[in-house]
Structures are given as C-alpha cells and as structure tokens.
Chain A
C-alpha cells in the first residue's frame, strides 16, 4: 500500500479525490494520467511538488511520474495563461482557415506559440487535430471547444473570456 499523505499540496477536495481514484482500478498506477491532469487543472501546471506527491500516492518514483508526464502533450511543467488558447491547424482546419485564426490570435494577443500574455490572462498554442474537423476551423480555450471560427468570432470569444463571461469546463 502507498504511504498515507499527511500534508497534501492539493485542495481538500482534490486530495480526497486522489485518495479514492487509485482504488477504482485493478492496479493503482492506472490513476496516474488522470491524476496528472487533475493536478494541472488545479495548479495550472504540474509542479515538482505535485510530481512528488503523486509518486508517493502511487508508490512510484518521481522519475517514473516525470517520464510519463513528458510523454503527453497536454501536460506541462510551466504555468500557462489563465485561458490557454489551442488553435488547431491540422488538415481539415488548415483547409478552412486554421492558420488565419492562429495568426489572428498571435497578432491580437501579441504572443507566439506556447507564450503567455504579460498579464497572465491568455496563452497561445498551435495544436494538432482536436476532433472538430467537420466544424473547422476550431480551437479550444482550456477544455472548451469553439468551432466554425472567423477572426471576428475569435474576437468576441476572447472578449468574453477577458471579461469573465465564459463558462470554463473542468
């Protein structure tokens, strides 16, 4: 069994979830990828302290955890913006203006790929196919999908986030 956690770095709600999650699987380690995601959702990124606690909870080494973390493109070890904008430029989006949307975001926010605005509000990423090909061009802001985009629509969407008018799926 894993070592009991005394002073969790996570909120009491997330710590309770992490107490339970490994027990639903035939092997505790199966909870690793979901735990990394949920840790990132709460902290904004996967910190060294998060890696250490997750390793302890799953009886893994920190190296094991870091190795798995580094494999998955959605997991990050540095903070992103409060709203991380992920613009798809893969083939279906490319054919319907995905690069135009990406360039528009770059100009509007004044940041490039994997960069964050100085106020920490927005970060931008060019991403591979997000599974919205028939509603292209598409992007995600955190976990929310936005599709059939035009530069004007992007302006309105980002404005809503900037003024706290958008939902934020967790």
Chain B
C-alpha cells in the first residue's frame, strides 16, 4: 500500500481526510462531506463560479489554467447536453498524487464533479481513471453506488425537485496520450486516443459534441474545500495568482519520498531538503526534474524558487503535475535523457509527424550515444530535432518530449561531450542488456 507521509510545513486541505477512512460515506459526511455540494445547489451557478474565480485555483494537471475562468467559458444555453469530465488518467512520470485521492477520498472527486456540473448546468459527469488503476476504480465505483443509495446522486438530489446528476466511472487501457484532454474525449467515445484540433475548445464542443469541462482529479477534489472555506480564504493559502495548496509528489533520491500537500509558492529547496529530508545516502544533488518528466531540468543553483506556475515559468521550467524527481550525483544525464525519450517515443500516438518522427530519431540518436558510438554533432542534432518539434503538434505531447531533452542537452552539454569522448559513469543504471532491450524495444 502507498505509504502516507507527513511534515509540519504541510497545509492539509485536499489531503485532510487521507488515512481517516473517508472512503466510507458516513465518515465522509462526518468530515464535512457533501455540505459544499448542498450549499452549491442552494446558491446556484453564479455564486459557485464567483467563488472559484476568487480561489485562484489553477489546473493541477499541469497547464495551470484558472479553473473558474474555464468553467465560465461554457455557454449557458446549449442544444446538446453538457458534461463534466474528470481526468484521472494520471500518467506523467513522477506523478502519483491522484492515486492517493482515489484511494483515500473518492467522495471528494464525486462531490467536486457534482459542483462542477451545478456550475455549468451539466447533468452527467464522467470520472476516467487510467487502466492500471483498477483497484482504485473499484473504490470509486463503490463510492458512487453508496452516493446513489443515499440520494446524493441520481434524481432530485438533496430532495431538490429537478436537480439531477449522474456519474459514470471507467478506466482507460494504457496510454499516456489519453491524459491529454481531447484524446481523453476520444477514448471515452470508444476510439483510439488521438488528439482533436482546437478550436473548437471542449467548453463549446466537447464530449459527444456537447459543451464539456475537463479538469484534473486533484483540481476537482479541491472544489468542495474551496466552497467550504470560501474562495478568498483558499486563495490566501497560496502565492500571488496561484491560490491554495497542491499535492507535490517528491520521488527519486530523497530520504523521505512521498506525496506532501504544500502551499503554492513553497520553496523548492525546502521541499527537497526539509520536507523530503534531503538527498539520500549522503550524496549530493545533481539535478531536479520539478513537475513531471516533461519539465526542463533544474540545476542545484536554480532551486531557490517558489513552487507555483509563474515562478517556475520564470525559472525556465514548469510546475507541471507537481511530481518532483530528485537526481543525485551518481546519475548519468545521458542515461536519464535516454530513459525519458524512450518513454515519449513509446507514448507518442503517431498522429502528428513532428512528434512521431522526432521522438523516434532522438531515441535512436541517444541510444547510439549511450552505447559509446556517439559523435559531438549528435548533440546538436538532438537539439535541432527537439527544437523542430516545439509547437508543431495538435497536442502538447510533442512539446512535453522536446522540452526536457532541450533542458538536458543545454544544461549538461559538457557531460554529453565528455561521455562521447569516452568518460562513463561508475555505476550505470541502464546496464548493456537493458540498453539492447531499449534499442530494440517494440512494445
């Protein structure tokens, strides 16, 4: 079972029910559950959206778009039904926060989904989990069934005539790309998960052609808490233009890896050295991938930065999905970069040529470099390929693959050059047998 961790600097909002048995509906209600949805039903859409805007909540999937604003884009009148789609296809390497939300607080996702539905006038919400999360789907399905049995979902909810809301849960079947919102809709419609071109945006033409809001599971789980404590109070927990708290997953070479709920704007250095206990085994810090594998790497002298969307952007990287991956000084960046691009090459859906070909050629080139047959011009070539992927694809997967690679070759160019000149690491993580496997992988 995933280990729960704790640190005094945490501000537990989303995680306040973790470990308290809130999968049980009575326990959830005892811990203030479904009170926010009831208030939302009474006060109506304008009040909900005003509170959401005041909260400064920005999308926790990685893009950081203001949630209240996203909801306000949905047309009030629509000939086609409107939908809420909760994105629980958590797949960004380094990210495991939604895993804990589904495991410990499934009703918060249902309640947030209901409130989103009330805000935009949708009567159906979908909660889509990644295929690997079957045991979490089982937890979600039991929570949904309990909510129906109690009259919290279905027709005339909370006894209010005409107030209906249904929730449908399902999983995917293994595809990183489906975490992208338009590919997610395709998957939910029973198709291959390839992205749709925008415009039109999902808020206007989404699932089954109806206006749809798509939010990350953590974003949705934050919603009931925002209404419970008030948008302004939630905003004050965070930093400027970055309201509230978020779940940061700190993994890799730290003493106490785990998912910690920290205020937006919290120091990255403190997150690594205090919250997660510093670098394990007495080693020193080499690099940090700060928000999931698609975020450009930071060097040890670049970590005095606040963990919010704007400060991380200024630092030349991204807050992303909040998955902080810490690398100690034993790691070869050549190996690490190869493992990262192997992932994106595997997950590129192949729809857009720059992404399909770019990820494949970068993987081939880095495989050769790693095997000891690289030339200095390979570094330039990798950079050229990555730069030509940027902004040239339907969905952000192309950028997500290119950005970390650009970070590695720019910030660690000397290490690539030394590797090519014959200098290797003492303890390679990818042994030659795995290298052969990666080079010839067809899975």
Contact = CB atoms under 8 A, between A and B. Distances in A.
Interface stretch (B33-41, B58-66, B245-253, B310-318): B245-253
Contacts of B433: 103
Contacts of B443: 73, 113-114, 125-126
Interface stretch (A1-9, A11-19, A94-102, A155-163): A94-102
Interface string A10-47: 00000000000000111101111110110000000000
Given A24-B168, A131-B95, A135-B257, A36 B431 contact: no
A33 B363 CA distance: 30
Interface stretch (B70-78, B111-119, B171-179, B266-274): B171-179
B336 A91 contact: yes
A113 B90 CA distance: 24
Given A25-B168, A37-B173, A92 B3 contact: no
B228 interface: no
Interface string A48-76: 00000000001000000001100111110
A129 interface: yes
Given A67-B192, A130-B132, A133-B323, A72 B175 contact: yes
B343 A131 contact: no
A130 B136 CA distance: 13
B190 interface: yes
Contacts of B441: 113
Contacts of B193: 71-72
Given A72-B175, A135-B3, A31 B168 contact: no
Contact of B259 (A89, A129, A134, A144): A134
A169 B138 contact: yes
Nearest to A41: B134
A150 to B, nearest CB: 15
Nearest to A114: B443
B153 interface: no
A8 B259 CA distance: 45
Interface string A115-149: 00000000001101111111110001001110110
Contact of A90 (B98, B173, B175, B339): B339
Given A29-B189, A114-B443, A132-B99, A72 B429 contact: no
A151 B18 CA distance: 30
Contacts of B437: 112-113, 126
Interface in B318-345: 323, 325, 327, 331, 336, 339-340, 343
Given A29-B190, A134-B258, A145-B135, A91 B252 contact: yes
Contacts of B349: 71
B346 A133 contact: no
A126 B443 CA distance: 9
A129 B175 contact: no
A61 B205 CA distance: 27
Contacts of A90: 93, 293, 339, 343
B105 interface: no
Contact of B347 (A27, A33, A102, A128): A128
Nearest to B289: A91
Contacts of A95: 251-253, 325, 327, 331, 429
A18 B199 CA distance: 35
A101 B175 CA distance: 23
Interface string B64-106: 0000000000000000010000000011111110110000000
Contacts of A25: 168
A92 B94 contact: yes
A143 B343 contact: no
A128 B343 contact: yes
Given A90-B343, A129-B92, A135 B2 contact: yes
A133 B132 contact: no
Nearest to B249: A134
B430 interface: yes
Contacts of A26: 81, 124, 207-208
A108 to B, nearest CB: 15
Interface of A: 24-27, 29-34, 36-37, 58, 67-68, 71-75, 89-92, 94-96, 99, 102-103, 112-114, 125-126, 128-136, 140, 143-145, 147-148, 169-170
19 contacts: A32-B190, A33-B170, A58-B190, A68-B190, A73-B174, A96-B257, A103-B431, A125-B443, A129-B293, A131-B96, A133-B96, A133-B251, A133-B323, A134-B3, A134-B251, A136-B252, A143-B132, A144-B135, A169-B134
